[in-house]
Amino acid sequence: MAGRPVYHDPLEAIADIPDGAVIMTGGFAGRGVPARLILALRERGVKGLTLITNDTSGGWGGRVDASYLIETRQVKKVIASWPVPASTAMITPLEQQLLAGELEMELVPQGTLAERIRAAGAGIGAFFTPTGAGTSFAQGKEVRTINGVEQILEYPLAADYALIHAYRADAYGNLVYRRTARNFNPPMATAARVTIAEVEELVPVGSLDPESIVTPGIYVHRLVVKRG
Amino acid sequence: MRIARELPDGAYVNLGIGQPTLVANYVPPEKQVFFHAESGVIGVGPMPEPENEDPDLSNAGGQPITIIPGAAFTSHVDTFAMVRGRHLDIAVLGGLQVSEKGDLANWIRPGRKVGGIGGAADIARGAKRIYVMMDHITKDSERKIVNRCSYPLTATGVVHTVFTDLAVILVTPEGLVLQEVAPGWSAEEVQALTEPRLIVSRELQEIRL
């Protein structure tokens, strides 16, 4: 059986991502971010992206995050839970563009964001959740009381491309993660037409314990490797 | 320090970003409390020495952490399934305002155009018991315990107890019950800095640390 295409140059792995694409990028607080893929997209200058990611606050101790694509004005809409730093000391490019009407933003509670991505990957049409009921997050959404609990209707979030990060992969695209660098990467892997995984190391097929594989290769279409 | 006493042995607890994170430092060693972090860990340990920081391991605020023996990592789907599914015993969250009915506003100040909700709305709704840890009044001397929150809400009717620098206040269907006051403070003085009427507990005590 043929393995997944393996790239060493991240630019080649993202060469077909067009302007206007809907992309997801994994990562949380600068951990588990597909940094090489984000920098490659930045270098290619793809524009008009819809970006689905957890946080774009930037500056996790100099770590790359998806804010690198907002800084260069490549994003027209961002869907995230933590778009700006807690501190108001500095106005970020995201805030500047948002206030100037150049960027659209949808703020989503973190658990709802994860579940909407999961729903897209799992073929779920929509779901009701208590998170956000009775708050501004319920605005414009269908509300229903189920088993005595007020809940709001949330729809799946799918993407054209998911850019994710993992620790190790084998040639079939099976992935394992490391510590809190796992975060949004497993659900995002399931929710895109094309999933591109940036990994630290490519290991021989059969060397990953099947019990420990978090993302099976069925969800992964391309691999970008540092080593192996 | 006061809140750490409320965390029972074996409890699963989420600590919010900022001040609540410090609660972990005051849990006595004979108690085993499992700390959950939105970054995807159950079993957060003490802060590491700089030379022991792991680049792939952080808490919700992005600070390096350690894990305890027996810790587990989860993806965000599971990290929040256990929140939403009411598996966490307690969450200790910061607060901008708490209402008489236990509504919590803690994610954005009015006037700021953009804020981050992060996991606050999920956790405030999902944990079985919500403790709010905050100053009793703002730096500008505005009351934070109010009849109705004027700031955008995180969740409605979820707060169990408010722990401030001046008082411990229980949210009940009958209203807010003043359980403890800081040393040197009277119930009347706390009431003057609290908008809703406080029911003074018959067993009113001084806060002991």
Secondary structure string (H, E, C) spanning chain B:
CCHHHHCCCCCEEEECCCHHHHHHHHCCCCCCCEEEECCCEEEECCCCCHHHCCCCCECCCCCECCEEEEEEECCHHHHHHHHHCCCCCEEEEECCEEECCCCEECCCCCCCCCCCCCCHHHHHHHCCEEEEECCCECCCCCECEECCCCCCCCECCCEEEEECCCEEEEEECCEEEEEEECCCCCHHHHHHCCCCCEEEEEEEEECCC
- The whole-angstrom distance between A154's CA and the closest CA on chain B is 14
Query: What is the pLDDT at residue A226?
Result: 86
Cα separation, A9 vs A2, in Å, equals: 20
Q: Greatest CA span in chain A, whole angstroms?
A: 54
Query: What is the pLDDT at residue B113?
Result: 85
- What are the tens digits of pLDDT across the range B6-22? 999 999 999 998 889 99
Would you call B39 and A28 a contact, using CB atoms and an 8 Å cutoff?
Answer: yes
Instruction: Give the ipTM.
Output: 0.96
Residues of B near A (Cβ–Cβ under 8 Å) read 17-18, 37-41, 54-58, 60-62, 67, 73-77, 79-81, 83-84, 112-122, 125-126, 152-157
Q: Do A37 and A62 contact (CB within 8 A), yes or no?
A: no
Residue B37 has pLDDT above 60, yes or no: yes
- What are the tens digits of pLDDT across the range A146-190? 999 999 999 999 999 999 999 999 999 999 999 999 999 999 999
Domain boundaries, chain A: 6-124+158-227
CB-CB neighbors (< 8 A) of A55 in chain B: 116
Region for residue A206 given its phi and psi (left: phi exceeds 0; alpha: psi -120 to 50; beta: otherwise): left
Interface test with A, best of B67, B88, B122, B158 (most A CBs within 10 A): B122
Q: Tell me what the mean pLDDT of segment B76-80 comes to.
A: 98
Query: What is the pLDDT at residue B151?
Result: 96
Report the candidate in B5, B115, B67 with the shortest Cα–Cα distance to residue A179.
B67
- What are the tens digits of pLDDT across the range A56-108? 998 788 899 999 999 999 999 999 999 998 888 889 999 999 999 999 999 99
Overall CATH class of domain A6-124+158-227: alpha beta
Q: Do B73 and A182 contact (CB within 8 A), yes or no?
A: yes
Would you call B39 and A54 a contact, using CB atoms and an 8 Å cutoff?
Answer: no
Residue with tokens 């003085």: B189
Query: What is the pLDDT at residue B62?
Result: 93
Residue A2 has pLDDT above 80, yes or no: no
Would you call B117 and A109 a contact, using CB atoms and an 8 Å cutoff?
Answer: yes
Interface test with A, best of B77, B101, B113 (most A CBs within 10 A): B77
CB-CB neighbors (< 8 A) of B120 in chain A: 109
- Which residue in the set A32, A105, A186 is minimally distant from B77, CB to CB? A186
Which residue of chain B is at minimal alpha-carbon distance from A111? Answer: B80
The sign one gets for the Cα dihedral A84, A64, A33, B42 is negative
Q: Which amino acid is at A30?
A: G
Region for residue B162 given its phi and psi (left: phi exceeds 0; alpha: psi -120 to 50; beta: otherwise): beta
Q: Tell me what the mean pLDDT of segment B66-79 comes to.
A: 97
Residues of B marked active site are found at 38
- Which residue in the set A94, A112, A183 is minimally distant from B75, CB to CB? A183
Query: What is the pLDDT at residue A45?
Result: 97
Asked if A110 has any chain B CB less than 8 Å from its own CB, the reply is yes
Coil, helix or strand for A113? helix
Going by pLDDT thresholds of 50, 70 and 90, the confidence category of residue A1 is: low
Residue B35 has pLDDT above 80, yes or no: yes
> What are the backbone angles phi and psi of residue A145, rounded to the nearest 5°?
-95, 115
Please name each of the domains of chain B with its CATH number: 3-206 (3.40.1080.10)
